[in-house]
Amino acid sequence: MTTLVESPTIGMEHVAREGAIVLIETLNEELQRQEEAWEDRDKELAEAKGVDFEPITLEAVELENFYVGHVPSLINAPIEKYPNVSVEADRAGASTSNTLDQATTYGISMYVEFMVKSEKSAEEASARSHRMLDAINNCLMSNRTLRGVIQEFDDAPTVQLSDVFTRKEQSSYGSEWFWRGGRLEYVPKKVAAMPSGDFLRAASMSDIDQA
């Protein structure tokens, strides 16, 4: 992998795909670490409230529930589709730090959206969402070049969590469960080669051929 591509591609899909691969390879292990790290804190809260301690487990994300791109249908997906994670890059602009003569550096808006569920309580859904958010950020900030396709990014993401919602297990019927979504947005920098004369001539000939 390299941060400089030979073709003049902006590379938004490439960035989103590499972000997804990083999470596929590391997120579930990081969720385990989050679960272990919070156990003593959860015990402390239960003691302070005078209630029995009930551990908050963090559900692993099944491989089929990782997505590249915006997937609005997940809002009404079956319960087995939760938790889920999607990665998309939807905006790009020339970076103000661009100092290369033969290449352009793009600042790309890459966002990660996730949804978690709880059949127990809104409190558990809330805890799972906070810990999923931290796990995702830890994974991406530990691989800041996205496996070598971007320049290392240092900026912290913009993050947001939704309200906790309730929904029937089968959308309109079944047991009621709790749902919460979150979003993290990063601005990694991607280097793209400037179009060469050969590339422009090839593009022009292609236009002629199709005329």
Predicted local distance difference test score (pLDDT) of residue 84: 96
pTM confidence score: 0.83
The confidence score (pLDDT) of residue 140 equals 96
> Which residue, chain included where needed, has tokens 């292990």?
29
pLDDT at 172: 57
Residues 6+ apart with CB under 8 A from 91: 108, 109
3-state secondary structure the chain: CCCEECCCCCCHHHHHHHHHHHHHHHHHHHHHHHHHHHHHHHHHHHHHHCCCCCCCCCCCCCHHHEEECCCHHHHHCCHHHCCEEEEEEEEEEECCCCCCCCEEEEEEEEEEEEEEEECCCHHHHHHHHHHHHHHHHHHHHCCCCCCCCCECCCCCCEEEECCCEEEECCECCCCEEEEEEEEEEECCEEEEECCCHHHHHHHHHHHHHHC
Q: 85 and 72 in contact (C-beta within 8 Å)?
A: no
Query: Tens digit of pLDDT for each residue in 154-200?
Result: 688 999 999 999 876 665 556 788 999 999 999 988 777 666 555 44
What is the number of structural domains in the chain?
1
| pLDDT band at residue 3 under the 50/70/90 scheme | low
- Mean confidence (pLDDT) of the chain: 84
- Record the tokens describing residue 51, joined without a space: 């209630």
pLDDT at 1: 46
Per-residue pLDDT tens over the stretch 97-153: 655 556 677 788 899 999 999 999 999 999 999 999 999 999 999 999 999 888 777
Q: Is 174 exposed, middle or buried (0-12, 13-18, 19+ CB in 10 A)?
A: exposed
Can you give the pLDDT at residue 74? 81
Q: What is the pLDDT of residues 34-78, one digit of tens each?
A: 999 999 999 999 999 999 999 999 999 999 999 999 888 787 788
- Domain holding 90, by residue range, is 4-210
